[in-house]
């Protein structure tokens, strides 16, 4: 636990107004659930071995609704999208396709702002229409 406190929590900014007992309880809680957080050795990213198959209720060639072009984006939104996509590629969640590779299903994405932070949101409404529920 000493390594956890000195190394993994060294950049944590705990509330300085917490009483010592509360701070100890909080650190203990963080330590017990440390596997829920990303680290240098275990970054959050693609869940290898836990892939999900999306089964569609239509056959190829897929309807036009499943091959939608990108939405227009402002320069600010485009910059945000590029950052989010690069981050997802770095984590192995997304991969870049070659020029000759075909994508059978595409969904447009947009950048929204919530509490001053950017969020990438995929418009998967059309995909939901053609997806067979798994329950």
Q: How far apart are CA 14 and CA 112, in angstroms?
A: 29
The tens digit of pLDDT for each residue in 26-49 reads 888 888 887 777 776 766 666 677
Secondary structure (DSSP) of 22-84: HHHHHHHHHHHTGGGS--SSS-S---TT------BSSPSSPPGGGBPPPPP--HHHHHHHHHH
Cβ atoms of 106 and 66 within 8 Å: the answer is: yes
The SS3 of residue 19 is: coil
Say which range, 31-45, 52-66, 98-112, 118-132, has the weakest mean pLDDT: 31-45
Question: What is the maximal distance between C-alpha atoms in the chain?
Answer: 63
Query: Would you place residue 67 in the very low, low, confident or very high pLDDT band (cuts 50, 70, 90)?
Result: very high
pTM of the predicted model, to two decimals? 0.61
Whether omega before 61 lies within 30 degrees of 0, making that bond cis, reads yes
Q: Provide the pLDDT confidence category of residue 132 given band limits of 50, 70 and 90.
A: very high
Candidate from 38-47, 87-96, 124-133 with smallest mean pLDDT: 38-47
Chain mean pLDDT for the chain: 86
Residue 12 pLDDT exceeds 90 = no
pLDDT above 80: residue 135:
no
Check residue 81 and give its pLDDT: 93
Handedness of CA 97, 64, 61, 51 (dihedral sign): positive
What are residue 41's phi and psi, to 5 degrees? -80, -30
Go through the domains of the chain in sequence order and give each one's CATH number: 2-36 (no CATH), 64-129 (3.10.10.10)
pLDDT: which is higher, 102 or 1 = 102
């Amino acid at each position: 636990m000493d390594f956890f406190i000195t190394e993994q929590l060294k950049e944590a900014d705990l509330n300085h107004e917490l009483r010592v007992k509360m701070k100890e309880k909080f650190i203990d809680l963080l330590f017990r659930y440390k596997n829920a957080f990303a680290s240098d050795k275990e970054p959050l990213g693609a869940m290898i071995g836990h892939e999900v198959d999306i089964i569609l209720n239509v056959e190829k060639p897929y309807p036009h609704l499943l091959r939608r072009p990108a939405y227009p984006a402002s320069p600010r939104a485009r910059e945000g999208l590029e950052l989010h996509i690069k981050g997802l590629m770095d984590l192995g969640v997304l991969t870049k396709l070659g020029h000759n590779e075909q994508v059978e299903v595409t969904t447009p994405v947009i950048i929204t702002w919530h509490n001053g932070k950017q969020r990438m949101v995929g418009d998967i409404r059309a995909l939901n229409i053609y997806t067979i529920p798994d329950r």
